[in-house]
Amino acid sequence: MSKPVYILGISCYYHDSGIALLKDGEVIFAAQEERYTRKKHDEAVPVKAVEQALKFAGITIKDIDAVGFYEKPLLKFFDRILRTYFKVWPRGLITYHRAMQEWMTKKLWIPTNLQKELKYKGPIYYVQHHESHAASTYYASGFADASIVTVDGVGEWATTTIGYGKGTELKLTKEIHFPHSLGLLYSAITYYLGFKVNSAEYKVMGLAPYGEPKYMKEMRELIDVKEDGSFALNMKYFTYEYGLRMTGREIEKLFGQPTRKGEGAMTQFHKDIARSLQEITEEIMIKIAKQAKKLHPSENLCLAGGVALNCVANGKILRAGIFKNIFIQPASGDAGGSLGVALAIWHRIYNGARIPKMEHVFLGNAYTNEEIETYLKSQNVPYEKLDDAALIERVSGLLAGENAEPRTAESNGEAGARVIGWFQGRMEFGPRSLGNRSIIADARNKENWQKVNLKIKFRESFRPFAPTVLEERVSDYFELDRESPYMLLVANTRPEKRNEIPAVTHVDGSARIQTIRRDQNPRYYDLIKAFEKKSGCPVIINTSFNVRGEPIVESPKDALNCFLHTHMDYLVLGNFVLSKNKMGQASEDTQKEYLKKFELD
């Protein structure tokens, strides 16, 4: 029997560093470094994630046949970074010095750093940034052929690409280059609205439905869009080529108001700006999709890159009917580039066969009941252990408001509104919690929207929550006729159902939908099915298990800490149920100390 081929894909040194480990072309482990270091968007060499991958596979670094890096750093540095600074010189002197320090100490020495940090001595291959994105979506799609679109901030030069895949062949045929970038436009307006770049763009998407597109004229001053989806930014309004900020005074003159500062007041003006930005983004994405279909006719579209996480735009592309089928890489950001480069190496270097469609993202660590119980005993906390059937019965009843203990004084809510931390199986890869590291609650109870936002997540009250719905019931509740397993499609809640599930219906009647089948996640499916039997409703709230600014929990320790310092009512770790009523709520001072550990996003 021949030795398996192990390929390790790596992304790091920008944001959201991550790894993917392939065994004979199959993804067997993938994770972001932030989950282990507890540093949000950690950009470091993903040493801890690699350690966990090797442990999972039962191998050592010596068993790795090839390492892939998700972009070409020398091309990026010598062809774009230096040329850009020379073009804008002497502006940008401060950022030039900062960038040079980072490149000279880390980014130009990637082979040396990877070999040193990982103790790896084998070959390292490089794939261009957008090729990694394209590979991550096409090779995972299961499609025999597809049009491919990738859109993000910037790679080496490209910010947007169109290409095609056929069999194992993948080729990018059209590019838009820096500084013209839809992703950077979205980030620039994110900055203008007072949110954190490369972290809070999704907040702008969530804010948009509260506004009206009153600033489309100004948006068209910022970006010139052609019918074929190509575009050019008016660089008069942007300073990211040379400045410490994304935008400057010119954009403030254009919109007539200064840049919002951090936690400053959120007015209707800001909501209208967000809506206008979202509208122009959707318009551009639809035009790009149409051009991709024109250049490379196919029934199938594959999307990746950070902008592909804009699930509202994705939903608009779907409803436009340009393509019959759409696959969006669930780890569309830079972390997913690690998966793309690994798959590209499998096909290009090893001439490997196509793998089946990516059916789930449960690719990280798991903890056994024995490991969980050992930890709980070490913490001397009360818990209840249940068998599988009893666990589903108990937790579905808690969600439905049955058999719950009296509320603690701190819980301060309606009798049936129970919020549960749900920690099961292998951790998800990518930015979404999809049923294994989730906070869950009853979608019928509108109070849960505000409770989870303000007393558990400690985040802005305008932020919506996603529903998880049984796949076979999705069309009964939402205007969607297909699966959406990764929360990457937004569709409207059916008008007659909006009052039934108000906690997951946004102000414009939309919802960011996750569908679930039993073969994807048996325990999570069984829980919702049992909840449906008790309540008549096949929909629950699902949001990530963390507080604002905290990486999603990875371990039982992370989960217990988050549970103790928030107003969740119950914690379910594997087959163990913990009640806040029996443990008590952390003091306000203790809670504040916990939250201080995490930088606001």
pLDDT for residue 460: 84
pLDDT for residue 242: 66
Whether the model pTM is above 0.85: yes
Report d(CA 380, CA 383) in Å as an integer: 9
Report d(CA 65, CA 255) in Å as an integer: 54
Q: Strand pairing partners for 162? A: 149, 174
Average pLDDT, stretch 233-257? 88
pLDDT of 414 over the 50 cut: no
pLDDT for residue 50: 99
Average pLDDT, stretch 149-178? 97
Q: Strand pairing partners for 326? A: 301
Q: What is the pLDDT of residues 340-381, one digit of tens each?
A: 999 999 999 999 999 999 999 999 999 999 999 999 999 999
Token pair in block for residue 344: 């590209």
Pick from 21, 14, 16: nearest CA to 332: 16
Report d(CA 574, CA 371) in Å as an integer: 10
Residue 539: pLDDT band with limits 50, 70, 90: very high
Average per-residue pLDDT in the chain? Answer: 92
Report d(CA 92, CA 179) in Å as an integer: 15
Please report the DSSP string for 239-291 in residue order.
-TTTSSSSB-HHHHHHHTSPPPPTT----HHHHHHHHHHHHHHHHHHHHHHHH
pLDDT of 486 over the 90 cut: yes
Other beta carbons within 10 angstroms of residue 273's beta carbon come to 26
pLDDT for residue 276: 99
pLDDT of 86 over the 60 cut: no
Token pair in block for residue 97: 């010095």
- Give alpha helix (H) positions in 208-267: 216-222, 249-255
State what percent of residues in the chain have pLDDT above 70: 91
pLDDT of 407 over the 60 cut: no
Q: What is the pLDDT of residues 419-464, one digit of tens each?
A: 999 999 999 999 999 999 999 999 999 999 888 988 888 888 888 8
Q: What is the pLDDT of residues 54-78, one digit of tens each?
A: 999 999 999 999 999 999 876 666 5
Q: Comparing 90-104, 116-130, 432-446, 529-543, which segment has the lowest mean pLDDT?
A: 90-104
pLDDT for residue 248: 86
DSSP 26: E
Residue 588: pLDDT band with limits 50, 70, 90: confident
Q: Comparing 160-169, 233-242, 325-334, which segment has the lowest mean pLDDT?
A: 233-242
Report d(CA 518, CA 124) in Å as an integer: 39
Cβ burial, residue 430 (10 Å; 0-12/13-18/19+): buried
Report d(CA 375, CA 423) in Å as an integer: 14
pLDDT for residue 563: 97
pLDDT of 409 over the 60 cut: no
Residue 153: pLDDT band with limits 50, 70, 90: very high
Backbone angles phi, psi at 589, to 5 degrees: -65, -45
pLDDT of 412 over the 50 cut: no
pLDDT for residue 296: 98
Report d(CA 414, CA 198) in Å as an integer: 37
Report d(CA 12, CA 19) in Å as an integer: 9
Report d(CA 111, CA 344) in Å as an integer: 19
- Give alpha helix (H) positions in 106-215: 110-118, 129-141, 182-192, 201-207
Contact 82, 107 (CB under 8 A): no
Could you give all domains of the chain from N- to C-terminal order, each with its CATH number?
6-143+334-348 (3.30.420.40), 158-328 (3.30.420.40), 369-596 (3.90.870.20)
Q: What is the pLDDT of residues 44-56, one digit of tens each?
A: 999 999 999 999 9
pLDDT of 415 over the 60 cut: no
